[in-house]
Amino acid sequence: MKHDSLPPEVLDVAGAISEAGGRAFLVGGHVRDWIFSESDRPVASAVEFNDIDIEVYGLQLARLEEVLGSFGEVISVGRSFGVFVVKGLFSDKWVDCSFSLPRRDNKVGRGHRGFQVELDPELGFEEAARRRDLSMNSIGVEIPGAEVEDPHGGRADIEAGIMRATDPEHFPEDPLRGLRVAQFAARFPWMEPDDELVELCRALDLSELPGERLFEEFRKLLRKGQKPSLGLDFLHRAGLLRFFPELEAMVGVKQDAQWHPEGTVWEHTLLVVDEAAKARRGEGFEEEDLIVMFAALCHDLGKPATTVEVDGRVRSPNHEREGVEPTRQFLGRLRAPSALVAAVEVLVHHHLAPANFVSQAASPKAYRRLARKLDAGGMNARILHRLAEADHFGRTTADALAHEFPAGAEFLRQAELLELEEAGEPDVVLGRHLIARGQEPGPGFSEILDRCREIQDETGWKSSEQILERYFSEDLE
């Protein structure tokens, strides 16, 4: 690995560590991704290389703090784990670099929390790397000098396209590693988990893990995954879907062959998340992309409870509405942010609207009411179209394979004609307009405002006076 791949500030700190008698090793994902890039593997983006982990050998904790302190304010992000960052070290604010000491994790109790951390600056690299999850993440590069330490065969596994546990005895120490393998499978589709790794993951218990940690791994799988389906399929193969019953319920659920020749609800969902991943907008739209990806994963969660077979045809009536509750349960299990939950729920609820609106020649009123409902979840018609398009393309019908979705294009065109593609129309008539007309504030206000909103949606009028004239003329009839 060339030194010019690292920010000069990292090289300066590494040089100071060396002068103090220590050894600085670049470890983890940065090393792995550079090996991928040198092999012409398409890592997600250059941003991957801005997450830098330095492991320091040969210096006691206090001495490491002293060396780092000459470069800025040292902040402990896990003193018991011997992890520090230096505030203001980088001119590029997007660089994230941590410095840590090697450690042992000694078993002292049951479960994934039953370990005591022992910092040991004199630990050898081979032993320290043994606690890392996968061999591809257990490679170190000394800086300065660029000497590679690869005691567990990580580079050979990368070249062979194999994901393998660094040490089968240490791997189960953190059950979250099952989800880490899944998100790696999604992000690096050329890497295949070996049979031993699948079995190690099958034995993991995710039930005690905090939802926030689960959410972070799903976030990486869905937002960074080149083929999210591979990560989700791994969870299925390794038996880890049992910890996410809302997802597991989709496995094996039939669909009508006319509309879904690709197979079951689960198989369809895997295709949909891959289609949604292809259409991610990238920088500046990360939050929107994540919402659409979660919606793609959850859009058919209502089918297991609603699917019936009548006269040889499979139907799932009202599955979009019935999918809201399992979506809420799944995202609640992950402790997902409330704004994301609201957004995904409203997209799931209305994911059939683009196709249905066009086939049923929906009125402008229907479009305005839909835009209002999407607004309530912080969404809009353009984002809903993204989900509907992924849903349509995520099947093996002729038009889907040809990437043709004329109904979706027409839905978006109608929304644009009504100026509703980005947001719904705000209420024209407000309480102050009623007061100006001599109305006393009270319970009756909401009924008047509701009817004025309906008139606005029916007519598209933007004048409060015009809407109120219509309302009061109706009231006199």
Q: Would you say residue 116 has pLDDT above 80?
A: no
Per-residue confidence band for 107, with pLDDT thresholds at 50, 70 and 90: low
Q: What's the whole-number mean pLDDT along residues 380-399?
A: 97
On whether both 7 and 48 belong to a single domain, the answer is: yes
| Cα–Cα distance list, 71 to 55, 89, 273 (Å) | 17, 6, 44
The per-residue pLDDT for 450 is 85
Q: Would you say residue 47 has pLDDT above 50?
A: no
On whether both 409 and 288 belong to a single domain, the answer is: yes
The answer as to whether 74 is a domain residue is yes
Domain that holds residue 10: 3-174
On whether both 142 and 261 belong to a single domain, the answer is: no
The per-residue pLDDT for 46 is 42
SS3 label, residue 13: helix
On whether both 146 and 263 belong to a single domain, the answer is: no
**Considering the chain, what is the average pLDDT of its residues?**
91
On whether both 385 and 456 belong to a single domain, the answer is: no
On whether both 406 and 456 belong to a single domain, the answer is: no
SS3 label, residue 310: strand
The per-residue pLDDT for 133 is 96
The answer as to whether 381 is a domain residue is yes
Question: In the chain, how many domains are there?
Answer: 3
Decide which of 124, 157, 174 is a domain's last residue.
Answer: 174
Lowest-pLDDT range of 35-44, 128-137, 210-219, 360-369:
35-44
The per-residue pLDDT for 49 is 56
Please enumerate in sequence order all residues whose Cβ is within 8 A of that of 138, keeping only pairs 6 or more positions apart, or say none: 129, 130, 132, 150, 151, 152, 154, 166
The answer as to whether 118 is a domain residue is yes
What residues pair up with 118 in beta bridges, in sequence order? Answer: 104
Lowest-pLDDT range of 344-358, 392-406, 430-444:
430-444
Q: Would you say residue 169 has pLDDT above 80?
A: yes
Specify the CATH number for the domain of residue 77: 3.30.460.10
Q: Would you say residue 132 has pLDDT above 90?
A: yes
Rounded CA separation 311/328 (Å): 33
The answer as to whether 201 is a domain residue is no
The answer as to whether 302 is a domain residue is yes
Decide which of 145, 174, 203 is a domain's last residue.
Answer: 174
422: left (phi over 0), alpha (psi -120 to 50) or beta: alpha
Q: What's the whole-number mean pLDDT along residues 176-196?
A: 97
The per-residue pLDDT for 7 is 84
Backbone dihedral angles phi then psi of residue 8, each to the nearest 5 degrees:
-60, -30
Rounded CA separation 124/121 (Å): 8
On whether both 457 and 407 belong to a single domain, the answer is: no
Provide, rounded to the nearest whole percent, the portion of the chain with pLDDT above 90.
71
DSSP per-residue letters across 56-99: EES--HHHHHHHHHTTSEEEEEEGGGTEEEEET--SSTT-EEEE
Rounded CA separation 227/249 (Å): 22
Per-residue confidence band for 476, with pLDDT thresholds at 50, 70 and 90: low
Q: Would you say residue 45 has pLDDT above 50?
A: no
The per-residue pLDDT for 223 is 95
The two most distant CA atoms of the chain are separated, in Å, by 92
